[in-house]
Amino acid sequence: MNLQNIGVIGAGTMGNGIAQVCALAGLHVTLIDISESALQKAIATVDKNLDRQVAKNTLTHEQKLAALDKIRTSTDYNSLQNVQMVIEAATENLDLKLRVLQQIAAQVSAECVIASNTSSLSITQLAASVSQPERFIGLHFFNPVPVMGLIEVIRGLQTSDATHAMALDMATILGKTAITAGNRPGFVVNRILVPMINEAILVFQEGLASAEDIDAGMRLGCNQPIGPLALADLIGLDTVLAILEAFYDGFNDSKYRPAPLLKEMVAAGYLGRKTGRGFHAYA
């Protein structure tokens, strides 16, 4: 399939990042969200991100304008009728994603590939909610999408070889590296990463070290570019908690039990960078 038209559902951090890299790769993007204000904010974010690239001389002003011109926004799922692939990037909530996927399937052609940017939910379960589940796949992008070079491609039990091949082609078009994972909670990267973050939270909860020292220890002692608590703040503590709860339920194993402090911070609304307060404070 000559991939030219992409739909992206959700104009938040992940959705606008996916829209940006697709547009820069020359794909026509239809970005959908439930509100015009969210869509306007997304386009403003993309514009600002592209301006940074222009300032760094990694992009020309003309290339920036061409990319912006390839993104159209809508609150109407009917706008998806001519796309060849839709990437769902809604909040990491099973019920919400199932509703969104059913809305997508009602509008796109039977040949359209449907992908989810889930970081922890079952691709097999999500696929079962749409017609022709063999065309369903997981495409897990990483935050920030324009910077991170990886896409996890996750096959569900129903995913066809043709759908998998198209997902790999998509990653190549975007200039990303793809790794293929099976359908288990957390797939590969989060299966390893999120329990490490949870352990760092437990260390902080026990008063063993400060947040600054925990992060410095992992940056300087393990050569990580960002400490685990700062990374949790970047991801969003609510998202970290949702992933851990999916692990705990999916594996039925106590080693994935979320740290009590993480649950308390989420309940308090201390979600990290997006709220200005997490394990660190943000202006």
Closest C-alpha among 250, 124, 244, 242 to residue 193: 244
Q: Which residues contact 210 (CB under 8 A, 6 or more apart)?
A: 204
Distances from the Cα of 220 to the Cαs of 189, 210, 212, 216, 264, in angstroms? 21, 15, 12, 6, 29
- Is-catalytic flag, 190? yes
Q: Of the listed 92, 116, 152, 198, which one is catalytic?
A: 152
Q: Which residue has the tokens 């991100």?
A: 49
Catalytic residue among 16, 49, 129, 140: 140
Q: Which residue has the tokens 């393990």?
A: 222
Element (DSSP H or E) covering residue 212: helix 211-222
Residue 129 is among the residues annotated as catalytic for this protein: no
Is 278 exposed, middle or buried, given 0-12, 13-18 or 19+ CB atoms closer than 10 A?
A: buried
C-beta atoms surrounding 152 within 10 Å: 21
Of the candidates 116, 122, 190, 198, the residue annotated as catalytic is: 190
The answer to whether 26 and 48 have CB atoms below 8 angstroms apart is no
| φ/ψ (deg, to 5) at 40 | -65, -40
Q: Which candidate in 119, 129, 183, 198 is catalytic? A: 119
Query: What residue has token string 């070079």?
Result: 149
Does the annotation mark 152 as catalytic? Answer: yes
Q: Is 206 helix (H, G, I), strand (E, B) or coil?
A: coil
For residues 11-38, b (16+ Cβ closer than 10 Å) or e, as one string? bbbbbbbbbbbbbbbebbbbbbbeeeeb
Active site (catalytic) residues: 119, 140, 152, 190
